[in-house]
């Protein structure tokens, strides 16, 4: 028994020495990453918000359009990665994506004429739609509508538009307003990638500087990882030794107020700090020296000469009784070019308030339903559904790897494995075994791959989602989640960091007096 007590006291003394030794570096880490983490919560919950959740819509009818194959032939379009009908400003347009980083081309469906340099015009239209700045609306002064300050075409990620947004290329449309309101638009799917203003950009810059250290030169990435790892590791060690002290040292009967507060705060925040620090280190190590890449991959170019069926002549009978929400042209695994006629989903009321839109954006709402496929050469109905088309797209992506399909599921909500950053729903998740060992998320509307999650990356994504962002609180609502996380981090900084600093300062003063 005596030996056990001596052993326990020895552990306590060792833990106490380490705890005091790491108090400065661990406290600095708590202040740096806890404080900057609060900035991220502020950005996502109080930053500028879109006014409309859904992309613009127009009634789709191809009954009176020019033959699509003739339009493409006249414009000398021989191959295209994506061809679809999109909603424009009061009209539907034929949109053609020849290559991923090239501006898209647009054609008037009735005249067949190309709208030159229309991708920028379309981006401005989308920006006004999402931000509620229609050309008919009044500006901030009650007069003319807000003008456009600049339109920038972006093909690379940056600190201002980080890789977590996933979509490239995008247009940055900034308006002539005091707050410099701006939107990032991905025109291929009429998607809003991000909304920002001057205040959010300033907060983003501070967050990047203190949380991710994006100012570090790329050539010294290993230095950044080591320094951040040491600081966050010291906070982790501080937390672990604190837990040891809580279990082995009894509370003093005549402890000072700051010591009592520090001890009570340690009981309350030891587990949350362990969750934040372990997940942060796992995330840091997992992405060490990883260059931001594009998750979105467009389909290989299809041969537009295979489009010959005059769909406009038979549109009425083909769509009788159907609620058509989208039309695109894709290629299946056998090389056949197909018309994909997307059908509308049963639609609930759209989110309208800022809170509802924010929740819908993070939770995800599918914007389309099932689809009917027609052979673009003959017009015959293709006896395949969305699932079979998705499997073909996945097979084309994995090539001749011989990987076995282990599962296929339609994804209609965002989650840990496929989250809101991808900006598109629904998609098909295809799980492949050896030698691919990955989940491939397929968008049948574009015949492209929206994201790829390798099995080796799955643990990090789950750990970061549940231990760092606390997504287990999602059922309570995103507002509750953000409030709880912000409260825990804020109180940990004030109660643990503040009282710890006071105690450490007193100990140093006492040591100085004893030395004299």
- Residue 33 included in any domain: no
Of 361 and 108, the structure prediction assigns the larger pLDDT to 108
Q: Are residues 140 and 186 in the same domain?
A: yes
The answer to whether residue 35 sits within a structural domain is no
Domain endpoint, select from 209, 235, 253: 209
- Alpha-carbon distance of 84 to 79, in angstroms, equals 14
Report d(CA 263, CA 252) in Å as an integer: 10
> pLDDT confidence of 352, banded at 50, 70, 90?
confident
Q: Which tens digit of pLDDT belongs to each residue from 161-218? A: 988 888 999 999 999 999 999 999 999 999 999 999 999 999 999 999 999 888 888 8
Q: What is the pLDDT of residues 228-252, one digit of tens each?
A: 999 999 999 888 888 887 777 666 6
CA–CA separation, 496 vs 258, rounded Å?
10
Pair 374, 487 in one domain: no
Q: Give yes or no: residues 343 and 448 share one domain.
A: yes
Q: Does residue 272 sit in the same domain as residue 354?
A: no
Is residue 94 domain-shared with residue 129, that is, in the same domain? Answer: yes
110 belongs to a structural domain: yes
pLDDT at 477: 78
Same domain flag for 312 and 455: yes
In a domain, 179, yes or no: yes
**Together in a domain, 166 and 203:** yes
User: Residue 254: exposed, middle, or buried by beta-carbon count in 10 A (0-12, 13-18, 19+)?
Assistant: exposed
Cα distance between residue 318 and residue 372, in whole Å: 10
What is the pLDDT of the chain when averaged over all its residues? Answer: 85
Please indicate, yes or no, whether residues 457 and 314 belong to a single structural domain of this protein: yes
Same domain membership, residue 419 and residue 364: yes
How many domains would you assign to the chain?
3
Strands 337-343 and 191-196, bridge-based pairing: unpaired
| Beta bridge pairs of residue 114 | 107
User: Strands (DSSP E) along 120-179, which ranges?
Assistant: 148-154, 170-175
413 in the Ramachandran plot: left (φ > 0), alpha (ψ -120 to 50) or beta? beta
pLDDT digits (tens, 9 = 90+) for 87-129: 999 899 999 999 989 999 999 999 999 999 999 999 999 999 9
Interaxial angle between packed helices 198-207 and 23-46, expressed in degrees from 0 to 180 and rounded to the nearest 10: 160
Same-domain status, 137 and 233: no
Cα 470 from Cα 400, distance rounded (Å): 39
Give the model's confidence band at 500: pLDDT under 50 very low, under 70 low, under 90 confident, else very high: confident
Question: Cα(467)–Cα(275) distance, rounded to whole angstroms?
Answer: 5
8-state DSSP, 88: -
Domain that holds residue 356: 302-468
Domain assignment present for residue 155? The answer is: yes
Q: Is residue 278 part of a domain?
A: yes
* Same domain flag for 456 and 494: no
In a domain, 34, yes or no: no
Q: Are residues 186 and 275 in the same domain?
A: no
Is 99 a member of any domain? yes
* Tokens representing residue 296 in the block: 């979105």
| Domain finish residue from 155, 174, 209 | 209
């Amino acid at each position: 028994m005596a030996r056990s007590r001596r052993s326990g006291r020895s552990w306590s003394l060792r833990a106490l020495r380490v705890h005091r030794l790491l108090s400065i570096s661990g406290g600095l880490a708590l202040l740096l990453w806890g404080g900057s983490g609060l900035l991220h919560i502020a950005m996502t919950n109080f930053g500028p918000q879109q006014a409309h959740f859904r992309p613009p819509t127009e009634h789709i009818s191809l009954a009176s359009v020019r033959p699509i194959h003739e339009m493409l032939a006249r414009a000398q379009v021989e191959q295209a990665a994506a061809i679809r009908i999109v909603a424009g400003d009061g009209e539907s347009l034929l949109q053609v994506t020849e290559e991923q980083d090239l501006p898209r081309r647009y054609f008037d469906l009735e005249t067949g004429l190309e709208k030159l340099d229309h991708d920028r015009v379309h981006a401005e239209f989308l920006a006004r739609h999402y931000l509620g700045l229609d050309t008919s609306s009044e500006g901030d002064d009650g007069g003319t509508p807000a003008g456009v300050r600049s339109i920038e075409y972006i093909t690379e990620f940056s600190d201002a538009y980080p890789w977590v947004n996933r979509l490239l290329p995008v247009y940055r449309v900034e308006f002539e307003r005091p707050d410099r309101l701006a939107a990032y638009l991905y025109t291929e799917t009429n998607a809003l990638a991000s909304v920002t203003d001057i205040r959010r950009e300033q907060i983003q810059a501070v967050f990047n500087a203190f949380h991710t250290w994006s100012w570090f030169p790329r050539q010294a990435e290993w230095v950044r990882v080591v320094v951040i790892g040491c600081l966050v590791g010291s906070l982790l060690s501080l937390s672990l030794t604190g837990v040891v002290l809580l279990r082995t040292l009894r509370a003093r009967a005549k402890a000072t107020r700051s010591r009592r507060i520090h001890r009570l705060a340690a009981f309350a925040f030891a587990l949350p700090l362990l969750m934040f620090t372990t997940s942060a280190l796992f995330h840091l190590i997992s992405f060490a020296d990883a260059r931001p890449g594009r998750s979105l991959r467009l389909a290989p170019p299809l041969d537009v000469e295979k489009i010959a069926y005059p769909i406009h002549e038979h549109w009425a009978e083909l769509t009788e009784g159907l609620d058509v929400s989208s039309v695109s042209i894709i290629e299946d695994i056998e090389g056949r070019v197909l018309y994909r006629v997307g059908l509308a989903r049963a639609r609930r009321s759209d989110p309208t308030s800022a809170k509802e839109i924010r929740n819908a954006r993070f939770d995800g709402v599918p914007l389309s339903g099932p689809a009917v496929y027609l052979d673009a050469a003959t017009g015959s109905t293709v006896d395949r559904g969305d699932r079979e088309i998705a499997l073909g797209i996945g097979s084309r992506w994995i090539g001749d790897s011989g990987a076995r399909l282990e599962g296929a599921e339609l994804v209609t909500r965002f989650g840990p494995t496929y989250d809101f950053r991808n900006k598109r729903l629904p998609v098909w998740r295809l799980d492949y075994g050896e030698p691919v060992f990955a989940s491939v998320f397929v968008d049948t509307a574009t015949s492209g791959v929206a994201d790829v999650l390798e099995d080796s990356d799955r643990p990090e994504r789950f750990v970061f989602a549940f231990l760092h962002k606390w997504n287990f609180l999602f059922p309570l609502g995103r507002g509750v989640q953000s409030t709880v996380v912000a409260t825990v981090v804020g109180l940990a900084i004030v109660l643990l960091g503040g009282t710890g600093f006071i105690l450490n300062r007193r100990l140093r003063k006492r040591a100085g007096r004893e030395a004299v």
